[in-house]
Structure 1
Amino acid sequence: MRIGRVGGPVLSRRDGLRGALGAAALLALSACGGNDEEPSGGASSSGGTSTEPVTAWGGEPQNPLVPTNTNETSGGKILDAIFAGLVFYQADGKPVNDVAESIDSTDAQNYTIKIKAGQTFSDGTPVTASSFVDAWNYGALVTNAQLSSYFFEPIQGYAEVNTEPPTAQTMSGLKVVDDTTFTVALTQPESDFPLRLGYSAFYPLPASALTDIKAFGENPVGNGPYKLAQTGAWKHNERIDLVVNDTYTGGRKAKNGGLNIIFYASLDTAYSDLQSGNLDTLDQVPDSALATFESDLGDRAVNQPAAVFQSFTIPQGLANFQGDEGKLRRQAISYAIDRPSICKAVFQDTRTPAKDFTSPVIAGYSESIPGNEVLAFDAAKAKALWAQAEAIAPYTGTFTIGYNSDGGHQTWVDATTASIRQTLGIQAEGAPYATFAQLRSDVTDRTIKGAFRTGWQADYPGLYNFLAPIYATGAGSNDGDYSNPAFDALLKQAAAETDAEASQKLLQQAQEILFQDLPAIPLWYSNASGGYGEGVADVKFGWNSVPIYDAITKQA
């Protein structure tokens, strides 16, 4: 996923579709990242393949490495290296066939998917149509409790397998035709469905995975450019070591000897290792280096737009944040945050104050959605709204924002809570967790006691992806348990719309509802800010801010 070319277009159009799939691609493609010929940051191309492994910054995944149960970036970074989907995304977000030979439809509702023959998993077993169908059915089945089950909701039969208790074990909309062909029937036309198929929820699984999913999660067997170096290569809270998967034949063939992802407890330590030559790539700069990293690293610094949105979420059930009182307090808190000052002082302008719930690099973005004035700093407005909420019920306690200390978030959380505290005259402070996995566990288990930092690194380059998985009722990443039927209805209309511009307008209307309800408080958009070491070349950061590891070459 995310780099290279492979023969043929990602989508095959047929008469009767009226260009709908092409419109969906226009709707969803990112505008960031640079061209496909030159690496970013001034790295020169070596033109060859090196045998040394690349070292990269990462974090301990929240869960075992099962594609349908991974919805966070630490685990996703690893899965994207060891699996190949039906499509992958180039550096600019353009989808290209990977495992797929073709993805055809005449009505944007019924799809025939053919995969390339002769492909295998890293253990030598074949990748077949059943590898996809069985994996998707596993991911959707409610009793398997997979975090990404929501991505299968458009498929016919999802309701039967995802209600408790399920009335079926497999989705009726998935049919295996032969070893290299399967069909997908959706509940309604969804013209951007093929665009989604590079996301990890749609990866295939070998048959062995479904016989012992727990063991598989610790030592996953994939079909991508890398594989685990050996059993036990995942050393929890330390690192995971990957080697080249020689059985992979797609467009992301590794040009290095492997990928070692180091789980740093501190971004400052990772940055020091980058400077001293002990780390090859870093895709997040610590606050302490934001003012200097471009001069420190020179042409090895990367600072480019990316499809990353940052926010914090106030759970719907949190005391004092429900009903009309809750709406007033959410609006007051949003008005109380001086985003431009924080972006300048904390992030040295490597962040841009948010104007919506998506990203400026995604087609369909608008900075003039009605209601987005709530994102402006207005102390008087904030105090007035808070006073209206106080007339409904008095506020007691401390407003907290949970964050993970291993991700370099303390400075902006402190600045944000200080802005809230000084504007509203309430107690507000950060609530640190030692690791990302610990924070996510409390969020997932719904045991967190206050607000918590959230953000979205797009799964695929589409406007819809910034809204549906996070705010639709019951969605897998709807960590605040938000629900609004009017919002859900607009999402459904947008997904079915075959005209790109019309779909964009519907998604903008959906965001008007979000600005009224504020299920999350938008903060800013993130650049891909990082860098790489002197010993590597051909380094490029993709549309979603992650380095394209398989293209990196390393000097011996």
Structure 2
Amino acid sequence: MRALKRGHKVVALAAAGMLLATGCGGDDDNNAGSDAQGNLTGPITEGGTVSVHGCKPERPLLPADTAEVCGGDVLDNVTAKLVRYHPETGDLENDLAESIETKDSKTFTVKLLKGVKFHDGTEVDADSFIDAWNFAAYAKNAQQNASFFSQIQGFEDVNPEDPDGDGPKDPPDPKTDKLSGLKKVNDTTFTITLTRRNSTFPIRLGYTAFSPLPESFFKDKGKSFGKKPIGAGPFKLTSFNPDREIVLEKDPNYDRARKPHIDKVIYRIYTSEDAAYADVQANQLDITNIIPTSKQLDRLYARDLGGRFATRAEGVFQSITFPPTKTDPSYSNPKLRQAISMAIDREQVIKLAFPEREPATGWVSPVVNGYKAGACGEYCTYNPERAKQLFEEAGGYNGTMTLAYNGGGNHEVWTEAVCNSIRSVLGVECIAKGSVDFASFRSAIEAKEQKGMFRTGWQMDYPSIENFLEPIYKTNASSNDGNYSNKEFDKLLNDAAAAASEEEGYALYQQAEALLAEDMPAIPLWYGAAIHGHSNKVTNVKVTVFGTYDFSSVTVIK
């Protein structure tokens, strides 16, 4: 019997724990030092408020309908899941689950901790999970993350496949609103049966979409919840003004592992990275995860912040995605997409905009097992002559290429540099176009109305090679912004998930990734290496392998 017990290590993230650069000195660090990973450390104190650079969530805060970091970072501190990920290594640990056991990697028996309550005082039980997952998977609820439940038996009955994608035919009505693969045993036990075996299935159960929901959620199908989500995590949301700030307060009844020391977290919504950085420099904002491009050159941030920073590898991938062919057919030729990729001088763009980052050679982050260097082959290598050849074979491009990006996210410099590189090599006009903020930028993409190329990024939901492929490129997947579809790719993903061993699974995932090089639905740019700045009011600031903050460690200097 294979079992997942507390602290069981599922995925080793060798590269994830490596710190690329750290700050541990300066005049204002209150005698702070650094730990083995280089994180800023100091005395442990209790209480206090921490302000954080935030951004406007794209949608109401529903766990199964949030697929971006602005809302996801908030929800991950409010909700709890069956499992969680160790903040420094990404190792899997049980949270709401007492155990997750399986004999065949197809049916899993979940036993919950007893006595855990939501922030509204109601019990977290088996129904909390079963009802939440049924709601998420049911097609008529139109949840963005529905496809994360596709491996559970009965998904095709609650979420039938659209026969022609976004074509004129409507998908058939669901046969039921309940997943047949979810069965309640008693109040603290339920089973999950998959359509086929998947030994790594528990890894995904720490993702936001798998959060349990209280009974109150279903009274209005989450309309009230979206403005004030109720979870079982370490913090509860007390104020939600998405244009200004989002306030979280420590749940005084939270008594599980990683209990926070601070009392309150305030996400201040910024549309300018320069303004947020200036506030951190002036000690008016405690933490920012975005350092302006102008401050990354020659590592000027190190001088400005006097040691109040940390940089580490993270499970983040940056790319340029091509529009759905139905929305904009001008980029439909794979040779054109490959030519554009080869026309981008990644080394030069990184030198101008993000000195700490590494050029991507594929679609999977190096921090997860299964990563294969060079998966993109020649198409991610700057080669002007080959790019011109492919461009001519594709028939060129009529008109002006556009590259859309969201304002307030430090994207102006690199998008201009990318367009300059494309223009220089291919002789076609390219214009970088910014939107007001992240929410408005994503709304056009979600509506499949965004023409031209657009910036995309991926912060891993769970530490697995599968997470960099299935949610983004599988047919009808939750974050498939370009509507990419390849039946052979889909089959390889399914076969990989059901593989008899991890090694066999990795090989199949790598074969699927190789198909992306042939089709080039998105251009890999670089892998994440986050730089985080801190005020002189906080210490013990640790950055997780996901590039987020570990608020269980942060303390306020008193």
What SS is found at the alignment partner of 2:368? Answer: coil
Aligned partner letter, 2:70: S
- Would you say the 8 A contact 2:316–2:365 is kept in 1? yes
Structure 1 distance, partners of 2:399, 2:253, is 57
Q: Post-superposition shift, 1:206?
A: 0.4
- Would you say the 8 A contact 1:277–1:533 is kept in 2? yes
Alignment partner, residue 329 of structure 2: 319
- Would you say the 8 A contact 1:39–1:538 is kept in 2? no
Alignment partner, residue 417 of structure 2: 415
Alignment partner, residue 333 of structure 1: 340
Deviations 1:19-64 (A, max 9, x none): xx98x924x64631359x9375442242342x21111111010000
Deviations 1:432-465 (A, max 9, x none): 1101000110000011111111011000011110
Alignment partner, residue 263 of structure 1: 269
Alignment partner, residue 520 of structure 1: 522
Structure 1 distance, partners of 2:82, 2:253, is 16
The counterpart of 1:218, out of the listed 213, 218, 227, is: 227
Structure 1 distance, partners of 2:287, 2:434, is 26
Alignment partner, residue 162 of structure 1: 159
Alignment partner, residue 343 of structure 1: 350
Q: 1:103 to 1:31 in 2, by over 3 A?
A: farther
What SS is found at the alignment partner of 1:551? Answer: coil
The gaps in structure 1 that reach 5 residues or longer are 1-8, 14-20
The gaps in structure 2 that reach 5 residues or longer are 20-33, 161-171
What SS is found at the alignment partner of 1:273? Answer: helix
The counterpart of 1:187, out of the listed 195, 205, 210, is: 195
Alignment partner, residue 120 of structure 1: 117
Q: Post-superposition shift, 1:10?
A: 8.2
Q: Post-superposition shift, 1:170?
A: 0.4
Deviations 1:155-194 (A, max 9, x none): 0011000124110110000011111111000000111110
- Would you say the 8 A contact 2:5–2:98 is kept in 1? no
User: Given the alignment of the two structures, is residue 281 of structure 1 paired with residue 287 of structure 2, yes or no?
Assistant: yes
Alignment partner, residue 25 of structure 1: 10
Structure 1 distance, partners of 2:243, 2:550, is 23
User: Given the alignment of the two structures, is residue 367 of structure 1 paired with residue 373 of structure 2, yes or no?
Assistant: yes
Alignment partner, residue 250 of structure 2: 244
Q: Post-superposition shift, 1:531?
A: 1.8
Structure 2 distance, partners of 1:188, 1:38, is 43
- Stretch deviating more after TM superposition (414-423 or 529-538): 529-538
Deviations 1:360-419 (A, max 9, x none): 1111211133x52110011111111111111xxx63221111110111111100000110
User: Given the alignment of the two structures, is residue 62 of structure 1 paired with residue 58 of structure 2, yes or no?
Assistant: yes
Q: Report the identity percentage.
A: 41
Structure 1 distance, partners of 2:365, 2:57, is 25
Aligned partner letter, 2:330: N
Structure 2 distance, partners of 1:264, 1:195, is 33
Aligned partner letter, 1:78: V
Structure 2 distance, partners of 1:217, 1:280, is 27
Structure 2 distance, partners of 1:246, 1:285, is 34
Q: State TM-score, norm by structure 1.
A: 0.92
Alignment partner, residue 18 of structure 1: none
Structure 2 distance, partners of 1:295, 1:41, is 17
Aligned partner letter, 1:525: Y
Aligned partner letter, 2:281: Q
The counterpart of 1:469, out of the listed 462, 468, 471, is: 471
Q: Post-superposition shift, 1:255?
A: 0.8
Q: Post-superposition shift, 1:505?
A: 1.2
The counterpart of 2:67, out of the listed 71, 90, 113, is: 71
Structure 2 distance, partners of 1:516, 1:40, is 39
Q: Post-superposition shift, 1:497?
A: 1.4
- Would you say the 8 A contact 1:40–1:539 is kept in 2? no
- Would you say the 8 A contact 1:382–1:424 is kept in 2? yes
Q: 1:59 to 1:487 in 2, by over 3 A?
A: same
What SS is found at the alignment partner of 1:76? Answer: helix
Alignment partner, residue 389 of structure 1: 394
Alignment partner, residue 99 of structure 2: 102
Structure 1 distance, partners of 2:542, 2:94, is 20
User: Given the alignment of the two structures, is residue 46 of structure 1 paired with residue 33 of structure 2, yes or no?
Assistant: no
Alignment partner, residue 4 of structure 2: 11
- Stretch deviating more after TM superposition (335-344 or 311-320): 311-320
* CA RMSD in angstroms, aligned pairs only: 1.8
Alignment partner, residue 3 of structure 1: none
- Would you say the 8 A contact 1:132–1:203 is kept in 2? yes
- Would you say the 8 A contact 1:31–1:363 is kept in 2? no
- Would you say the 8 A contact 2:235–2:250 is kept in 1? yes
Aligned partner letter, 2:340: I
Q: Post-superposition shift, 1:252?
A: 2.5
Alignment partner, residue 174 of structure 1: 182
Structure 1 distance, partners of 2:213, 2:153, is 21
Structure 2 distance, partners of 1:498, 1:98, is 27
Structure 1 distance, partners of 2:526, 2:40, is 29
- Would you say the 8 A contact 1:32–1:306 is kept in 2? yes
Structure 2 distance, partners of 1:46, 1:33, is 23
Structure 2 distance, partners of 1:476, 1:450, is 21
Q: Post-superposition shift, 1:248?
A: 2.0
Aligned partner letter, 1:554: V
- Would you say the 8 A contact 1:241–1:260 is kept in 2? yes
Structure 2 distance, partners of 1:235, 1:368, is 44
Structure 1 distance, partners of 2:529, 2:381, is 21
Structure 1 distance, partners of 2:464, 2:353, is 29
Q: Post-superposition shift, 1:346?
A: 1.6
Structure 1 distance, partners of 2:48, 2:148, is 37
- Structure 1 stretches of 4+ with a deviation exceeding 3 A read 28-31, 37-42
Aligned partner letter, 2:334: K
What SS is found at the alignment partner of 1:299? Answer: coil
Alignment partner, residue 5 of structure 1: none
Q: Post-superposition shift, 1:88?
A: 0.9
- Would you say the 8 A contact 1:355–1:368 is kept in 2? yes
Alignment of 1:143-158 (within 5 A): 143-158=140-155
Q: 1:281 to 1:39 in 2, by over 3 A?
A: farther
**How many residues are aligned here?**
526
Structure 1 distance, partners of 2:519, 2:10, is 30
